[in-house]
Structure 1
């Protein structure tokens, strides 16, 4: 004996409503904004002192933090592993994940790791524990949806629109830029220092300087002009054009301690000025530094380092006086990267030569090979910090438009070394 027709319809309607409600609950749980924080369950590791040489290889690019951790970026996750000198990537020490926002940048200062997300949120994590220290709103990144290679090197080594800046009173701040706005927050607690409107696509970021300024390139009203914005107040303190420079100008930061942050020099070039000109960043404005004019030159500890015809030369970046000379590097040797106390050179055979930038003394030399990978590769993105050098290895010939399998040397294309 069945239900009467009217009751069957009622039961069917109730069942449909319950099913829809159940689906709604599942969809909400899956798609609703959420975050998952998995803090560290072990003690903060000590900083090791590895001997010079190749340490290991990794599938993704690490940001070395406080000389103790390796911090990585995934599509919707930032996580760390240790030991920092481990041969391979290991189980996460801590992890932080957000949904549905995408991770667009990571920057670190001391024991604070700040992640930037596609919805504009800034989330600071304690490097020692992985716990959230603060959250703050920032402008939505200008490059949301940008294609990142599988190593995610651009996210952790050169995050667009996310810069450290050291203020004159010793504090460290973060400057965050978007399409139409810039904001600065204190690194320690996320407190907003200032926010200003930006004119849009006709202005681009260059980076931040060791003098505590955000440098931008403005093409909105005439010839390209370099602007210097105070990191503590957001006020534009100076606008500058190199004398005799072309209307279309390219500005490249040099001597940066992290990505395009804390840079000590600039190089300007443009149509008709192919050789370019180097400039030291000073409190009173850019100072000509002809020793930084050559393509491939860098500056570290106020020494300009260049390599030409197998000879490395160190010159005072201010006076141009030659300080030292190292011969016998071989044709094709080049400056690869630098950090305070170290200048890294790469030979044509992919030997890494580390020099003291002040004296030119060789600190180490070894071949960048791990396992049976060989040295038949070209360097890609590079990071240097805390005594480590990390770089991508690319297949020869470099094919920038190819997929990741063709572009990178192997499934573990990142090599980690101590110099």
Structure 2
């Protein structure tokens, strides 16, 4: 079987934010072509750069504002610093003042991931890897010629090959993220990789390191491998060109391409026990639809930084009737079904953000434990297929990039009440429990980044 067409989760997040500044990147042979918004309505930071524009009324001034050259990935907070992926330089600025704490150049385009108090920086299309101390920016260790780097909280995985094409000799390597010590190495083909997918994990944060990881050593089969030793578990499932991952001791694969005569937006799921290979639940959930009635197929918006919404073995999807639901992957039982139709687009372990359709309509926030509606909000105005659409759900805030009369705006709501806390011109560049970063034109000097605290 050919390798999956779906790009790695990091690549989706990077491509999404790259589009916000008018630049898109392609990061692997499996990448799908990005959805391109209509030039009639799309506004980019490049098109606004250097223009005055009409000022949008802001709810409060930013705590600080800094200038950047290019933002392709979301900002995130580690301790007292906010990490700013600025072009080919990774920066850390003081959370309170915006003053630079450190800067770390990288020789090529990169993606970054957070593992505890460490930052893993790796080349987008193969090349060097560096692990940095988040507080100081100092390099803990580095490796050369890495491909398809995947980061978990304790381990770093990559593929390394000698030669090219069909004659390439490849291995999958696991290292301790703290010191780079090699944990294991397995022979593989040139399409092999450890999965970077997980339920409820938002880039750039790395997934927890479980007992097993899912590895596709030959492009045809997902195999479970012990994360610390490389010893193969008995869990195996065929690769179906969509998602394969380990959740709560289960190896899970999904297929989001329903048969031609299927009109229900079916997503087929198969599970086995990762350690023993014992058969688990297999069945169906459903994806939502776009405004035009087409199946969206994905179970989370592809610009949310999430592969799938949920936590543990609880997966958020849609019912055949089009209502959000939570399904336990261990048993296949529906834990809750929402009262009204909608499409889950974002969320965390406490909340699920729903839109009327995958790319349009009003918003609602559901309780992740019960499916009850906490609040609803008017349509933010920007199609979900637009390159400017962004969203983030944290413990205290919900932020979305919307548009008013074709002008981008970031709307911030309180998680508990739905009260609108802020409305700022620009694009959503990152969010935390009590802050939101907004990017907008900075004139000839580049892109401006504003941090708002709530």
Unaligned runs of 5+ in 2: 1-58, 162-169, 199-208, 288-296, 300-308, 405-424, 435-454
Conserved? CA contact 1:207–1:263, under 8 Å: no
Q: What does the per-residue CA deviation read over 1:75-95, in whole Å, with 9 as the maximum and x for residues that have no partner?
A: 4211234549x9xxx554432
Please state how far the C-alpha of 1:175 moved relative to its aligned partner.
1.5
Alignment partner of 1:177 out of 156, 159, 162:
159
Q: How does 1:366-385 map to 2 (within 5 A)?
A: 366=377, 369=380, 374-378=381-385
Distance 1:368 1:70 in 2: 30
Q: Cα 1:218–1:110, aligned 2, differ >3 Å: closer, same or farther?
A: closer
Distance 1:394 1:252 in 2: 32
Q: Cα 1:359–1:289, aligned 2, differ >3 Å: closer, same or farther?
A: farther
Distance 1:306 1:126 in 2: 37
Alignment partner of 1:207 out of 172, 185, 196:
196
Distance 1:345 1:175 in 2: 34
Distance 1:363 1:123 in 2: 42
**How much is the aligned-residue C-alpha RMSD, in angstroms?**
4.6
Partner of 1:288, secondary structure, is: coil
Please state how far the C-alpha of 1:236 moved relative to its aligned partner.
3.3
Conserved? CA contact 1:300–1:343, under 8 Å: no
Please state how far the C-alpha of 1:205 moved relative to its aligned partner.
4.4
Distance 1:350 1:341 in 2: 23
Partner of 1:334: 343
Partner of 1:147: none
1:94 aligns with 2:102: yes
Unaligned runs of 5+ in 1: 1-52, 142-159, 166-171, 243-247, 396-409
Q: What does the per-residue CA deviation read over 1:300-338, in whole Å, with 9 as the maximum and x for residues that have no partner?
A: 24333223556322333333333333223x5xx311133
Please state how far the C-alpha of 1:121 moved relative to its aligned partner.
3.3
Alignment partner of 2:152 out of 151, 164, 169:
164
Partner of 1:126: 133
Alignment partner of 1:137 out of 122, 128, 143:
143
Partner of 1:313: 325
1:287 aligns with 2:280: yes
Distance 1:391 1:211 in 2: 32
Please state how far the C-alpha of 1:123 moved relative to its aligned partner.
2.1
Partner of 2:195, secondary structure, is: strand
Partner of 2:315: 304
Q: Cα 1:175–1:140, aligned 2, differ >3 Å: closer, same or farther?
A: closer
Conserved? CA contact 2:253–2:271, under 8 Å: yes
Partner of 2:306: none
Q: Cα 1:208–1:353, aligned 2, differ >3 Å: closer, same or farther?
A: same
Q: Cα 1:367–1:272, aligned 2, differ >3 Å: closer, same or farther?
A: closer
The answer to which of 248-257 and 287-296 deviates more is 248-257
Q: Cα 1:363–1:253, aligned 2, differ >3 Å: closer, same or farther?
A: farther
Distance 1:264 1:81 in 2: 39
Partner of 1:344: 353
Partner of 1:227: 223
Partner of 2:186: 196
Conserved? CA contact 2:314–2:328, under 8 Å: yes
Conserved? CA contact 1:214–1:228, under 8 Å: yes
Q: Cα 1:181–1:315, aligned 2, differ >3 Å: closer, same or farther?
A: closer
Higher helix share: 1
Q: Cα 1:117–1:347, aligned 2, differ >3 Å: closer, same or farther?
A: same
Q: Cα 1:352–1:116, aligned 2, differ >3 Å: closer, same or farther?
A: same
Distance 1:390 1:77 in 2: 26
Conserved? CA contact 2:393–2:399, under 8 Å: yes
Partner of 1:400: none
Alignment size in residue pairs: 304
Q: Cα 1:354–1:104, aligned 2, differ >3 Å: closer, same or farther?
A: same
Conserved? CA contact 2:222–2:237, under 8 Å: yes
Please state how far the C-alpha of 1:240 moved relative to its aligned partner.
2.3
Distance 1:343 1:70 in 2: 25
Which protein has greater RCO, CA pairs closer than 8 Å, 6+ apart? 2
TM-score by length of 2: 0.53
Q: Cα 1:280–1:115, aligned 2, differ >3 Å: closer, same or farther?
A: same
Q: Cα 1:386–1:300, aligned 2, differ >3 Å: closer, same or farther?
A: same
